[in-house]
Chain A
């Protein structure tokens, strides 16, 4: 197996007196989908936000391509090519697809003038490279898109910026069956293009199907980091709900202490 693209070692994170992450080790490999699973409140979103620089880790190391890096804010993670697709999408309904994809990073000519030609061209080729074909026009307003299409735009936005790592926090939570299918296909294509993809999902069928590795969090601790092909549905559910399954997982004593 290749080297991790992005790696966290021993990350702690507390909010006041409440410790949410306990010595978390987490690896993202290039060209792979790493699923991050865990019960509600296990700390998945907190971990993602720590990687994105929105929260600062209290302790722990970050390595990018094997080299130590510091992530003290969203700008640092963006500079490394880490992009987040938020649970609530963060799109502007009154802007069109191109405008949303370039928001805050518009291409300009002559110093001040928006370069709509270049932006539309690049947005279109990015969507085409991701085989997004259900959108009628890249100039239609985001308000007119379905949930799946909005998710697609949010993901494509992340890809546009030559990102290396894409973090997806429950991208399919609000979607119907067919739209979930679309988004999962897209997630797979991201990885096939060589990106390191992190997918948070509660749907174990989806997770098993689309991911290469699975990291299970239990009350802020890593219960397991396993290959998707080495596990099954019931084992993951056990890891999520009890923190251990057979001979893998957190020692029973530790699990009991933190519960």
Chain B
């Protein structure tokens, strides 16, 4: 939206229906921008205005990704862009992305969960122990892991919502406390191996190439169909909608990205000639499924709408009859359950769980991912997909720095700086938004 000065309400010529070039019929009210007279050019101009107004969306993340790819490709031409490394990068990103997607509901409320990383480690620990020491099957182990996660979220959420303890204090306490639980479970210096074929397969196995193509193409077809079916419905009632051309451009871009990814991952990436590794790792599909599910919940259901409302104005949400406490608790349950999922993915990738799993920089990576993707730390603004886009950025940094073989201290400094940079972009764009009222 363009900036609005105070007098726009008084009916300056640009606001009154009669003054706009494409004046709507008199009985249509003054909603001149809702009719789809918008061309691609106008839509682009509106987009530029929005960015100027401080609503950057996923732009910094996408630009960052492009820059990082160029830099690392130049610095490490043979290793960074190899098929094997690209596949690794996607798998690395999946654990970060899942953790980040889970944090977004909490961030939407303006809260934070500092314990999500170690919750994931602990949940994975319980899952691994149930297989390794008690001979359980993988489905039981996964259910145990998720239940542990959900329980942690329930306790944290209740303490925050009902007792009113600030989330960062509660979750900082859990950050320490849960590491103790994991340490007790596994033992100092110990590790629990993860050997279950299915669990390991999440990250080290890939879908057969033909199958992968079919799944990706079918998903794109369904999404495209829904997109244009909805557009037709909006047009039939003459409601607010983007120009068809913009929709087409966006959908084409999505097709190019997903089909390109499929093409790269469908090539053989084995370094030994005797066997072949190709196809999309199953972890990528898991991320995709979670992305679709949570995007639906937060974008298309009253529950999701209410979460945004609480993040925007808690008092208004309460007066609208929304049970703020219950929704706040649910956000922490989602974060912790997704953290458990992320912990299981990490365990699948490394083949073990140790007392340090999920400690270290796992959480910082996930928060960084969400913020780089465009989610605000101030609440009320963010999309589930931010976690995936930001997760790719963070994984690329992590992966590229690993290939550069720098001293560990440099990696810490760079990652910390990236998080700070993202938070600064968030804070500055928030100020711009409140200054321009977009």
Residues of A within 8 A of B (CB): 74-75, 86, 88-95, 99, 103-106, 108, 112-114, 117, 120-121, 124, 127-128, 132-141, 143-149, 176, 178-179, 182
Q: Which residues of A contact B137 (CB under 8 A)?
A: none
- The answer to whether A147 and B9 have CB atoms under 8 Å apart is yes
Total count of chain B residues near the partner, CB < 8 A: 49
Interchain CB contact (< 8 A) of B9 among A114, A139, A141, A149: A149
- The answer to whether A90 and B316 have CB atoms under 8 Å apart is yes
Contact with A along B12-33 (1 / 0, CB 8 A): 0001110000000001111111
Q: Which residues of B contact A112 (CB under 8 A)?
A: 300-302
Known: A117-B239, A121-B239, A137-B31. A90 touches B9 (CB 8 A): no
Q: Which residues of B contact A114 (CB under 8 A)?
A: 300-302, 305
The interface stretch among B146-154, B162-170, B201-209, B307-315 is B307-315
Q: Which residues of B contact A149 (CB under 8 A)?
A: 8-9
B1 at the interface (CB under 8 A from A): yes
A92 to B380, CA, bound (A): 9
B228 → chain A closest CB, angstroms: 15
B352 at the interface (CB under 8 A from A): no
- The answer to whether B302 and A106 have CB atoms under 8 Å apart is yes
B320 at the interface (CB under 8 A from A): yes
Q: Which residues of A contact B302 (CB under 8 A)?
A: 106, 108, 112, 114
A105 to B320, CA, bound (A): 8
- The answer to whether B16 and A133 have CB atoms under 8 Å apart is yes
Known: A94-B312, A117-B239, A124-B29. A143 touches B437 (CB 8 A): yes
* Closest chain B residue, CB of each to CB of A146: B9
A-B contact pairs, 8 of them (CB 8 A): A90-B316, A92-B317, A93-B380, A134-B10, A135-B30, A138-B240, A140-B33, A146-B8
* Closest chain B residue, CB of each to CB of A75: B321
B234 at the interface (CB under 8 A from A): yes
B75 → chain A closest CB, angstroms: 40
* Closest chain B residue, CB of each to CB of A183: B9
- The answer to whether A148 and B9 have CB atoms under 8 Å apart is yes
Interface of A is mostly: loop
B229 → chain A closest CB, angstroms: 12
Q: Which residues of B contact A178 (CB under 8 A)?
A: 7, 9-11
- The answer to whether B233 and A117 have CB atoms under 8 Å apart is yes
- The answer to whether B1 and A133 have CB atoms under 8 Å apart is no
Known: A132-B30, A140-B1. A91 touches B380 (CB 8 A): no
Segment 385-425 of B: residues with Cβ below 8 Å from A? none
A112 to B302, CA, bound (A): 7
Q: Which residues of A contact B200 (CB under 8 A)?
A: none
- The answer to whether B437 and A144 have CB atoms under 8 Å apart is yes
- The answer to whether B305 and A99 have CB atoms under 8 Å apart is yes
Q: Can you list the 9 inter-chain pairs with the closest CB atoms, starting with the nearest?
A: A104-B320, A133-B30, A92-B312, A94-B312, A178-B10, A146-B9, A137-B33, A148-B9, A90-B316
Q: Which residues of A contact B315 (CB under 8 A)?
A: 88, 90
- The answer to whether A94 and B33 have CB atoms under 8 Å apart is no
Contact with A along B219-239 (1 / 0, CB 8 A): 000000000000001100101
A59 to B9, CA, bound (A): 43
- The answer to whether A135 and B31 have CB atoms under 8 Å apart is yes
- The answer to whether B322 and A128 have CB atoms under 8 Å apart is no
A108 to B305, CA, bound (A): 12
B21 → chain A closest CB, angstroms: 13
Known: A120-B239, A143-B437, A146-B9. A133 touches B305 (CB 8 A): no
Q: Which residues of B contact A90 (CB under 8 A)?
A: 313, 315-316, 319-320
- The answer to whether B380 and A128 have CB atoms under 8 Å apart is no
Among B3, B5, B6, B306, residue most surrounded by chain A Cβ atoms (within 10 Å): B6
Segment 289-338 of B: residues with Cβ below 8 Å from A? 300-302, 305-306, 308-309, 311-313, 315-317, 319-322
- The answer to whether B300 and A113 have CB atoms under 8 Å apart is yes
Q: Which residues of B contact A137 (CB under 8 A)?
A: 1, 31-34, 240
Q: Which residues of B contact A133 (CB under 8 A)?
A: 11, 16-17, 29-30
Q: Which residues of B contact A113 (CB under 8 A)?
A: 300-301
A135 → chain B closest CB, angstroms: 6
- The answer to whether B31 and A138 have CB atoms under 8 Å apart is yes
A149 to B437, CA, bound (A): 13
- The answer to whether B380 and A94 have CB atoms under 8 Å apart is yes
* Closest chain B residue, CB of each to CB of A149: B9
- The answer to whether B438 and A144 have CB atoms under 8 Å apart is yes
A91 to B317, CA, bound (A): 8
B45 at the interface (CB under 8 A from A): no
B433 at the interface (CB under 8 A from A): yes
- The answer to whether B29 and A127 have CB atoms under 8 Å apart is yes
B4 at the interface (CB under 8 A from A): yes
- The answer to whether B313 and A91 have CB atoms under 8 Å apart is yes
A147 to B30, CA, bound (A): 18
A144 to B8, CA, bound (A): 10
B381 at the interface (CB under 8 A from A): yes
Q: Which residues of B contact A121 (CB under 8 A)?
A: 237, 239
Interchain CB contact (< 8 A) of B234 among A91, A117, A141, A145: A117
B371 → chain A closest CB, angstroms: 16
